[in-house]
Amino acid sequence: MRYQLKNERLTLTVDSHGAELRSLVRNADGKELMWQADPTYWGRTSPVLFPFVGGTKEKTYYFNGTKYAANQHGFARDMEFTLQNQTENELWFTLKDTEETRKNYPFSFLLSLGYRLAGNTAEVCWKVENTGDAAMYFSIGGHPAFNCDLEHASLLFEKAGKPAAEIVSGVLEMNGSNCLSKNTKAFTLTEGVLPLSPAMFDEDALIIENSQADSVTLRDEKNAPVLTVRFTAPLFGVWSPTGKNASFVCIEPWYGRCDAADFSQRLEEKAWSRSLAPGQVFTASYTVCIYV
């Protein structure tokens, strides 16, 4: 089922399946900012990544001596959430663990996803609660896809309001494992700007660690800003499908990433993973500011 928030500047639509943001429209001219999930290129719009971000080594991991199966980006994006609360400017959805989720993720949790509108800004909120009686380990991230012309658009990277001089990205192994290699790729920026191109994604996503930026602005073919994604997450990804010249780019704040090729596969040693003691709650959010 789909739910909507609307103010004078923006209209936001969320699907309870995956609690996924499916539309963000600029009311002044009716412009749709979000990719509309054409399966020819990519059949999603803005899935939540939980309890894993990216691929897991050999699609498995170990916890307390037990081996578990783990799909890329986890399972929450493919589950039905419950609408918990709706007000004029806010939506909240929840997902609880089930007997089925515990087969491959042995933790009790309550995952809440929230959406807020304020003026020309949409905020995406995450809340993870450990409802079990032992420590739990998880990653969480966003995967919003924004409409653009890859041949003519660009990204502006900033940190604390200043343009970044360089962005260093991790590189995935080219054997289909979805694991991070030991290689990196550096992009020199001009006043913080990196022109986009389909070839940029020939080796899949850019995986950018260590808080290199805290805002990324998508600019159109006239170098005018379209939207800015702001976040406090220590990692983020930039992605568009390899070899498809799709008309969108994803700007993805992450708390976690794919496994490295040399990872031990022990969940408690997973890079950038979060842990919660029983009863503890993790909260985070990112915002999308639309230029109107």
Residue 214 near residue 195 (C-beta atoms within 8 A):
no
pLDDT at 177: 86
The Cβ of residue 204 has, within 10 Å, a number of other Cβ atoms equal to 17
The answer to whether the bond into 163 is cis (omega within 30° of 0) is no
Give the DSSP letter string of 71-98: -TTBSGGGSBPEEEEE-SSEEEEEEE--
Is pLDDT of 11 > 90? yes
**Percent of the chain whose predicted confidence (pLDDT) is above 70:** 100
Q: How many domains does the chain have?
A: 1
Is pLDDT of 292 > 90? no
Tokens, residue 229: 């994604």
pLDDT at 82: 98
Question: Whole-prediction pTM value?
Answer: 0.97
Task: Measure the CA angle with vertex 177, ends 49 and 169; round to 5°.
Answer: 65
pLDDT in tens, 23-68: 999 999 999 999 999 999 999 999 999 999 999 999 999 999 999 9
pLDDT in tens, 253-289: 999 999 999 999 999 999 999 999 999 999 999 999 9
CATH number at residue 205: 2.70.98.10
Residue 239 near residue 146 (C-beta atoms within 8 A):
no
Domain that holds residue 31: 2-290
pLDDT in tens, 56-77: 999 999 999 999 999 999 999 9
pLDDT at 175: 85
d(CA 202, CA 182): 17
Sorted by sequence, the CB contacts under 8 Å of residue 97 that are 6+ apart come out as 105, 107, 108, 109, 131
pLDDT at 58: 95
pLDDT in tens, 169-200: 999 998 888 899 999 999 999 999 999 999 99
Q: H or E stretch including 101?
A: helix 101-104
Pairing verdict, β 145-147 and 248-255: antiparallel
Residue with the larger pLDDT of the pair 292 and 186: 186
d(CA 101, CA 131): 14
Question: pLDDT-based confidence at 113, cuts 50/70/90?
Answer: very high
In 3D, which of 32, 242, 244, 248 has the Cα closest to residue 153?
A: 248
Is pLDDT of 218 > 90? yes
Sorted by sequence, the CB contacts under 8 Å of residue 24 that are 6+ apart come out as 10, 11, 12, 13, 32, 33, 34, 122, 288, 290
pLDDT at 176: 81
